């Protein structure tokens, strides 16, 4: 199959629990921030926004791309275990530091 692993292609995507929808965004942001602090990730990640369907938008300070990806996977797994199974992390776009692309003038919009 061209090297594509289809073991989980038919699996159901976890959704947030019923309790998620009954709590305010501020309370969920507090719970997520508390879980990050308890596990030591709060120094590296800031929670910017929490969506109604379990979308957690975060920002990370300067970090190499390889380390950033691994960190996000670890944090998402931890949040799924500690807070709610249906949470998904989304990283805000990071400013492009490549001078050639910046001079070309392609703007990147801020989400939040």
Confidence of residue 25 (pLDDT cuts 50, 70, 90): confident
The residue length of the chain stands at: 112
User: Over 70: is that where the pLDDT of 2 sits?
Assistant: no
List of domains in the chain: 18-104 (3.30.300)
DSSP string covering 4-37: ---TTTTPPPP---HHHHTS-HHHHHHHHHHHHH
- CA atoms of 31 and 99, how far apart (whole Å): 39
pTM of full prediction above 0.75? no
Q: What is the mean pLDDT of residues 39-50?
A: 89
Helices (H) and strands (E) in the chain, counts: 4, 3
Q: Which residue has the higher pLDDT, 22 or 90?
A: 90
Residue 11 CA: distances (Å) to CA of 6, 90, 103: 10, 21, 44
Residues 45-85 have pLDDT tens digits of 999 999 888 899 999 887 887 888 899 999 999 999 999 99
Q: Looking at residues 3-12, what average pLDDT do you find? A: 75
């Amino acid at each position: 199959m061209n090297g594509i692993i289809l073991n989980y292609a038919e699996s159901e995507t976890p959704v947030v629990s019923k309790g998620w929808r009954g709590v305010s965004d501020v309370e969920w942001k507090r719970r997520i921030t508390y879980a990050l602090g308890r596990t030591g990730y709060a120094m590296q990640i800031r929670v910017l926004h929490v969506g109604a369907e379990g979308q957690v938008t975060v920002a990370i300070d300067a970090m190499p791309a390889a380390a950033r990806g691994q960190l996000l996977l670890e944090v998402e797994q931890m949040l799924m275990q500690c807070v709610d199974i249906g949470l998904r992390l989304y990283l805000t776009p990071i400013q492009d530091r490549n001078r050639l692309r910046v001079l070309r003038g392609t703007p990147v919009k801020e989400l939040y």
